[in-house]
Every structure is written in structure tokens, then in C-alpha cells.
Structure 1
């Protein structure tokens, strides 16, 4: 019986290691199948999966025959742990920053179902200067206004809309030169404090326009990069089309730059059969003269996205 258990451990270790390697490799290629896009979004799971596989492999090995199998498997998994660790490390290592602080917040409101009082309370408690809201419906905007949204944030750009298409930015200081960026859902460019800022919400992976929207944002970023871009990008750092936006625009992900670690924001409501958030699809992106000092996710009832708050130091 003991030999059977040991054999099962090796098989489980091999399967877990293979799954981890597949997750690691998935982020290297651009895919159109939304199911594969979702797999890429979970690539950060590769490291704990690889560690689990390694632990299974180095448990008591049994006879010589099993050692012959286990030793090369263990070496393969050690390499995998190193690769997965290198893949995850940039998201955990930050650097000190200095300069004036701009605090920003983005929140997807799930077709207007988010708790209006909680949205505004989160923004007030965090004391944000700029608030970007996606999937903001006219009805939810009325609810936020009745709670004092425009008293706290007197300046605004964008428009509310039914369903997923409403995106607006609210600020404590003037917002000017608003322009529609032309994505599937509302995305806007505007100026604040001399900075070019994007409020972003492209199509999600099950929409045929997902690739097109990611490519459009990459083209716009290459032609005229924003200083800050924030919103629900419907993509993670492991999706190549999203990485093109960063590469071509000279942008950095704030959570990665601040060393906040893996900070998944979706889904927070237990949807999709997931008991806790596993995908970091809400982002704040910054240019070289803006440095992220910290980021934090905040759960808001009624929506499946965590709000993301970032402290940005302006050079």
C-alpha cells in the first residue's frame, strides 16, 4: 500500500508540474480563444503549483525504481520553480519614490449593480484625487450624485450608459480636453494637472473586439502615450496584447512597479465558479516620470471587481 501511495504522489507531482509549465508557457503567445486568454490570466498560479509538485516529488521515494523516476522529475521541478519565481518576482519588488502624490482609484461597477454608498465611501476613505468608474449606468450615477459625489469630485469627463459602456472620471481638480478613445466600451483621454490620463474599458475576451481594442490602445499609446492610464483593461500582464500597450507606450504596471505582489481584482463575488479573485485585470499604468508608490485592492459589494487604489509620485 505504501508503494502505491508513493507512486500516486509521483504521478500527481508530474501532472501538477506539467500544468505549471503549461501556465508559464501560455503567456508567451497571443491567442484569440477566450478560454485560452483566461488560462493566461491565471499564470501566477504556476509558482504555488510548481512548489506543490516539488513537495510531492521529494516525499519519501521508496525503492530504486521510483528514485530513477523521482530524481529527474525533482530536477525538472526545481528548474520550474526557478522559472516561475523569476516570472513572479518583478511583481513583489518595488523601489522608493519621491515627489507630489496623486492618489487614483478605478472600479468596475458591474452593469451598475455596485453599492453606490460603498463606492463613494471607499473613494472618500482612500482620499483619492481621481476616481474612474467603468460600467457606470445613469441610474447608478444618480444614486452616487444623491450621496454627494459631485461635492467631493466637482469635475468630470465621460458619459454614463446602460449596460457595460458607461465610463466616467471624477476629480477634485479640473479635467480638460476629453476625447473618446474608441474602444468597445467607454474609454477616454483627458488632461489633469498637466498630465495626459486615460480612463480605459476595452472589450472583454468573449467579445470578438477584444484583440482589436487591445491593439487600438497599443497603437494610441505608441503614437501619444499617456502619463497615467487606469481602468478595467480586461487583460493581465500575461496576455501579450496587453503587454504591447505597455511596451509601445513605455508604461509600467503600478502594482508591479510598487512591488505590491500578485494583486488579483476579479472575480470578487464568487462568480465563474471561483471562490476568490484570481485575475488581475484592473490596472493603473504609469509613464517614466510617474512612479507608483503603492497599490491596494478594495472589495465593493454588488460588483465582481475589486476597486484598485494607487498612490503615484509625480517626478
Structure 2
């Protein structure tokens, strides 16, 4: 016996409803994934070791989050569309300001050029670094992963002719750091957690003093290194009456809670201030994980107190290292 028209329509509708529900569920799952990431990014602490590794990719995830409202729009899931747009707004609030100039101090003190470079266990050829120093003419150079051999090679190659003053501690492996200066300086501390020394020195400029730290906490590449990474960042000095410059390989981005907490004490990121906050520094060349391309992230920073003006920020390739060198031109506050 043939089915009448109403029976056929009812049967078709009963099949379509489960299909529509599955589409709705899939759209909401996409929204939820990006929403969870955005919510975790807003928290003022690190929720888990795995999150410390993942949160560095927030700028890329912020761009990908546009998938959620676009998918909801195409499939006409209006509530999911509204939720997806709200998630995108959270990401935009957190990430987009880095692409625009930030507030800057009207400092009128001495000018200062600073440069930081991770030498990758001393692998950077000394001539290449010295050429960069000649080109940029920094007053202060902070280096990380400074080995005894690298320190001696830099001395032999003539770095002392350009930056005659030095403070720091060269070490075998990745834990050494140093500060080279055009002006007299004195080592005041070696912030040391997990064998990663972060040299701290006072540099005496004409008419001013500045407190400089060559930043390099241990990399949170595995769970056992999480604590020394956290301690190394937490131990960085807070701003006070002496101008402060923290520069180097932070092994962290502006999306990490500890870096955000550091900036909240009265610092500014030079790249962020000059609309270069989305410029990535590691790895310096494209990399893959199990054949999949992985986006680069911003681990290297120049951080200054809010009374210091930032005029320029750039990154520079050096051979044999996976980090870009970072450079900034500053003006310190008048005293």
C-alpha cells in the first residue's frame, strides 16, 4: 500500500531533525573550543603546565576563532553566531592592541639603544654578532646562552672595541648570560633558577643610571622545568626609582599570566608600544611538528619601565640561532 503525502513528509522530517541536531552540536563544539581557550587566557594564573605551552599560540588561535561565527552564519545557527562573535571579541581585546601604537612616555633624559640576542649555546658566529652591533650601534647588548668559548671568541673578534664593559657569567650549555656595554657597569645579581643565570647589572650612563637584566628563565619544555621557569620570571625586579630594562629570551609571550603580571607592576613591552607586538621571534625560521607547520611565537622581549619612551623596535636574523635578536631605541626619564 502506498504511503500518502502526509506520511512521507512526516518520515522525511523525522530523519531531518536528528541531522539538524548533529549540525547544531558540531557548530557549538567549535564555538566551545575557542570559548574555552579565550576563558583560560583571561585567568590571571597558569592553570596547568600544558596550558603554559599552549597559550603562546593565542594570536594564531585568535585568528582561527573567526571560523566559529563564519560556520554558524553559513549554517544559520543564530545563537551560536552570537556566541562565536563574543568569543572573537574577547580575543580581539587581548591581541589586537599589539598591532597599534600604545601609550608612550614623554621622556626627556638620555637616549639609549639596546640589543638582545640568544646565542643558542654560543653557536652564533662572533663576526655576525659584531657586524650587527656595528650596524645598530647599541649602547647595551644582552646575550643569553653565553658559553665560555663564545665569550672568548667574542673577545678575540673585537667586541670589546665596540662595547668595552662586561658583566655576567658564561656557562657551558644554555645557562650563561652576559651584558656588554658602551658605558661602565657593575654586576649586581645573578638571578639563578634551574641553572639558568640571568645577569643583572647597573649601567652608569652620562647623567643617569639604569638597571639592566639579561632575561633567560629556563624553557618550560617539560613538566620538571615548569617551576624554574615560573621562579625565573617571578624573580625579575619590579620597577622603582631607577630606570629598568629587562631584555632577552623570556621563554614566554604577552599571553602568559606571569608576563602580564610583570607588565602590570609598571612595565611596558617595547614591541607592543611600537605596534610591533605581533612580530614573532622564535623560531627564526619555519618549523614543523610531525610534518605539520607550527606558527612561530614571540618569546624575546625588551621590557622597560613606563617612564621610559620607546621610539623604535626591530628584530634581526643571526646565523646558527633559532631566536631573532631584538633591538630598541629608547629615551630614559629625566632625573
TM-score bracket for the superposition, by shorter chain length? 0.7 to 0.9
CA deviations over 1:13-57 (Å, ceiling 9, x no partner): 655544432332232253375432111111112321122433344
Change (3 A) 1:117 1:7: farther
**Contiguous gaps of at least 5 residues in structure 1:** none
Query: Is it true that 1:48 corresponds to 2:54 in the alignment?
Result: no
Contact 2:167 2:187 in 1 (8 A): no
Residues 205-257 of structure 1 deviation map (CA, whole Å, 9 limit, x = unaligned): 13635435534653552496861111211112222123333334x22222122
Task: Note if 1:126 corresponds to 2:136.
Answer: yes
Aligned pairs (5 A) from 1:30-45: 30-31=45-46, 33-45=48-60
- Which of residues 262, 284, 303 is equivalent to 1:268? 284
Q: Say whether the 8 Å CA contact 2:66–2:88 is kept in structure 1.
A: yes
- What does residue 299 of structure 1 align with? 317
Cα separation, 1, equivalents of 2:125 and 2:67: 39
Q: How does 1:242-261 map to 2 (within 5 A)?
A: 242-248=259-265, 250-261=266-277
Q: Say whether residues 1:176 and 2:186 are aligned partners.
A: yes
Q: 1:16 to 1:302 in 2, by over 3 A?
A: farther
Please state how far the C-alpha of 1:307 moved relative to its aligned partner: 0.8
Question: The residue matched to 2:114 in structure 1 has which SS?
Answer: strand
Contact 2:114 2:327 in 1 (8 A): yes
Q: Which residue of 1 aligns with 2:35?
A: 21
CA contact (8 A) 2:243 2:332 kept: no
* 2:93 match: 86
Aligned alpha-carbon RMSD (Å): 3.0
Taking the aligned partners of 1:227 and 1:86, their CA distance within structure 2 comes to 28
1:260-306 Cα offsets, whole Å, 9 max, x none, are: 23122112244563756522121111112212222212122211111
Distance in 2 (CA, whole Å) between partners of 1:23 and 1:270 is 24
Contact (CA 8 Å) 1:266, 1:305: kept in 2 or not? yes
Query: Does the alignment pair 1:162 with 2:165?
Result: no
Give TM-score, length-normalised by structure 2: 0.79
Where 1:198 maps in the other structure, the secondary structure is strand
Mark the structure with the bigger radius of gyration. Answer: 2
- Structure 2's unaligned 5+ residue stretches are 1-15
- Does the CA contact (< 8 Å) of 1:111 and 1:137 recur in 2? yes
TM-score by length of 1: 0.83
Superposition deviation, residue 104 in structure 1? 0.8
In 2 relative to 1, CA 17–263 (structure 1 residues): closer, same or farther, beyond 3 Å? farther
- Matched residue SS, 1:169: strand
Pick one of 102, 108, 112 that aligns with 2:112: 102
